[in-house]
Chain A
Amino acid sequence: MKLFRMLGISFRDAFKSVFRNFSLSLASISCITITLIIVAVAIIASFNVQNFTKEIEKDLTIVVFMENDATEEEVLNAKNQLEKMKNIAKITFESKEKVKEEMSKESEVFDTVMSSWTDEDTPLKDTFQIKVKNVEKIRNTANNIKRIKKVATVKYGEGMVDQLVSAFSSITKVTYGIVIALILVTVFLIINTIKLTIFSRKREISIMRLVGASNMTIKMPFIIEGMILGAIGSIVPILIATFGYLAFYNHFDGYLFSKLILLIQPEPFIYTTSIAIFIIGIIVGMIGSSTAVRKYLKV
């Protein structure tokens, strides 16, 4: 009961000071707003990148080409060895004959060319298509498969995924750098805002001490003031993130560039993002205000 009463008083005083020093508060709020907009974009981008790289990885297939002269027995042996490997989820075999059949169906030119090939000089190969359980170990698995007898080549989409992921991860790193720099500037501004409030309430604080206010009671309004600045600063970024993402998603129909890059469904993604932005805003505000209290409100 008493705790709630004190908290209520702290909130009242904090709100009062936000509006009393409004020009300075506004500077802090604007800075938080800019920072949080960038944070929001970073969150939305990095989660989407994570999401679609996962999607792409799911489709990742290892294709194993046997030597042209591999006998049926040797192919069977290779299949047995593949089945023993731990990281392999699914094996689909396609024989030379089946490849030939499929290609013949596609065009008559292929058909006439291929009918001249004998079993000995055919360039066609028996293949296995393999899905792995753990994509991160795909390189390892591919290397193991290469060692199997009569395996000619092993292919998987190494280039594409790796490049995509590394491109996005460097973008992410740069974004994090910018976000951290902006947060530092924001914290600095909040410290100054709260410092001014502390100085403008010096008389009040000294009287509070005289009449026996606890340290917590004295400090709380200032800490809450920073949190309020953070909360107010998160309003515009939340609106931008929510409506911006919705518009973006609808404009591209849920895909970016190609069907390969699938965007995250707006719901509940935008809600969790909004909550994250709100919490980050409050935490940044609190870091600023508690630093100011520690530095300028000696008790």
Chain B
Amino acid sequence: MKMDLIRLKNVTKQYKNGVTAIQDLTLSIKKGSFNFVIGGSGSGKSTLIKMLYREEKPTTGQIVVGGVNVVRLRNSKVYKLRRKLGIVFQDYRLLPKLTVYENVNFAMEVIGASKVESRKKVLKALEVVGLKNKIHNYPDQLSGGEQQRVAIARAIVNEPKLLLCDEPTGNLDPDMSMEIMKVLDTINKETGTTIIMATHDKDIVNRMKKQVITLKDGRLVNFKEKGTYNNEAV
């Protein structure tokens, strides 16, 4: 139990409009593991991820992330949780007027890191994602895959224990997607960062052979090690 980074207990999330996105979900995720969250559109993948970084609060149940009781966390303290994790989205969410370097550095700057410390970490993160040669480019001068790698660099620059990815390959062609997966796999293996990645890309899931959490209509239907994208389950 001590090795669990995340624990959910009987978590239910009902949105204000009455939609129940997650239903009675109990789950624990080990430190250093690589987990896919799969399921059809509307199955609750994004909602689950949002609850992990406290963008949404569960209606009932308990969530603990890295020892932090996420449900009881006060709004004014949410930033403390966010500093322990990195988040990557389908749409990259970069700042168009900043260079690659500045985009990654932005994450260091707003948490008050010193210039010297930031510089070291930013360059290291950009090296991990293989973009050290493009630090002065602007986002619109990069391919989708490169932009997503910048977003990953920004997510890992502060060396988080947990990396949350919501459909990070959703906008990318298969080649670029595999590039991203290689980067994520390296991060997971080399730094022991726990990764949770929501996706509905069968190919990726089947190739990577990682833990698979399958959701259907907000319920957990399967949690397998070295799982594959099981059509019947979804």
Contact = CB atoms under 8 A, between A and B. Distances in A.
B111 interface: yes
A208 B106 CA distance: 8
B154 A5 contact: no
A181 interface: no
Contact of B75 (A9, A203, A204, A299): A299
B182 interface: no
A211 interface: yes
Interface string B65-93: 00000000001101111110001000001
Give the interface size class of chain B: 20 to 34
B112 A2 contact: yes
Interface in A174-224: 203-204, 206-215, 217-218
Contact of B112 (A5, A206, A209): A5
Interface in B9-53: 53
A10 to B, nearest CB: 10
A217 B106 CA distance: 12
Interface string B109-127: 1111010000000000000
A203 B67 CA distance: 30
B87 A210 contact: yes
Interface in A1-25: 1-2, 5-6, 9
B112 A210 contact: no
Contact of A215 (B79, B87, B93, B106): B79
A110 to B, nearest CB: 87
Nearest to B157: A211
Given A211-B107, A217-B111, 14 more contacts: A2-B114, A204-B95, A207-B93, A207-B95, A208-B110, A210-B93, A211-B106, A211-B110, A212-B82, A212-B107, A212-B110, A212-B158, A214-B79, A217-B112
25 contacts: A1-B114, A9-B110, A203-B93, A203-B95, A206-B93, A207-B95, A207-B106, A208-B106, A208-B110, A209-B78, A209-B79, A210-B93, A211-B83, A211-B106, A211-B107, A211-B110, A211-B111, A211-B154, A211-B158, A212-B80, A212-B81, A212-B158, A214-B79, A217-B112, A299-B75
Interface of B: 53, 75-76, 78-83, 87, 93, 95, 106-107, 109-112, 114, 154, 158
